[in-house]
Amino acid sequence: MIVFPRRLSQDIETIDVSSEVFADHGLVPIKYTCDGFNISPPLSLKNIPLETESMVVIMEDLNAPIRSWTHWLMWNIPPTSKIKENFASPMSVIGKNDFGKKKYIGPTSTSVLHRYIFKVYALDGVLPLKNYSTKLDVEREMSAHILGFGELVGLYKSVKNN
């Protein structure tokens, strides 16, 4: 679900999201999956609005049964043009994913190809949320503060289930 601001007069700028390790709609390297080292991939960001005070990253499996499945949720990321591999920042907060964990969990699909979306939001402030907050909590809190949005889609099919 893409969250739009409550203030309809506000323009949302497009953030260009890319990665040096996979192309948009390309295969996510094994290193960044549960079949590999299970660390978050590097993300490059362009066109971040100047007024940005913090950023949010949400990674979801779009092909999970029943609904999209959150694998990674992080907010209060300082504005940056690069979110490094296995990213961590003392100012950022990692929230609770749909596995019930407060960490990145990489693609974990079966032998069927899945689509994983990395969504990046630029906000006009920081989110006053606890680290056990969920995607729904973050989406509710940030909905009136979105300055920019971008996404990158990666594909993955488990090598262990072939």
Q: What angle do CA 126, 123, 83 make, to 5 degrees?
A: 90
CA distances from 55 to 78, 79, 102, 103, 146 (A): 6, 6, 17, 17, 9
Residue 8, pLDDT score: 40
Contact between residue 106 and residue 34 where contact means Cβ atoms under 8 Å apart = yes
Q: Can you give the pTM of this predicted structure?
A: 0.91
pLDDT at 6 over 50: no
Q: Which of 36, 42, 28 minimizes the C-alpha distance to 114?
A: 28
**Residue that is written with structure tokens 């590999």 in the block:** 36
Angle at 30 between CA 24 and CA 35, to 5 degrees: 135
User: Which pLDDT band, with edges at 50, 70 and 90, does 162 fall under?
Assistant: low
At residue 110, the pLDDT reads 77
Position 7 pLDDT exceeds 60:
no
Q: What is the mean pLDDT of residues 111-117?
A: 93
Pick the CATH number of 13-156 from 3.40.1550.10, 3.10.20.90, 3.90.280.10, 3.40.50.10490: 3.90.280.10
Question: What is d(CA 60, CA 83) in angstroms, rounded to the nearest whole number?
Answer: 17
pLDDT value at residue 148? 96
Task: List the chain domain ranges.
Answer: 13-156
Q: What is the pLDDT of residue 10?
A: 58
Please say if the pLDDT value at position 4 is more than 60.
no
- Per-residue pLDDT reduced to its tens digit, 27-36: 999 999 999 9
Q: How confident is the model at residue 139 (pLDDT cuts 50, 70, 90)?
A: very high
In angstroms, how far is CA 12 from the centroid of its own chain? 17
Residues β-bridged to residue 58:
73, 119
If you average pLDDT over residues 126-154, what whole number do you get?
96
How does the average pLDDT of the chain come out, rounded? 91
Q: What is the mean pLDDT of residues 131-141?
A: 95
Tokens of 134: 């969920």
Location of structure tokens 């043009």: 81
- Residues 76-99, mean pLDDT to the nearest whole number: 94
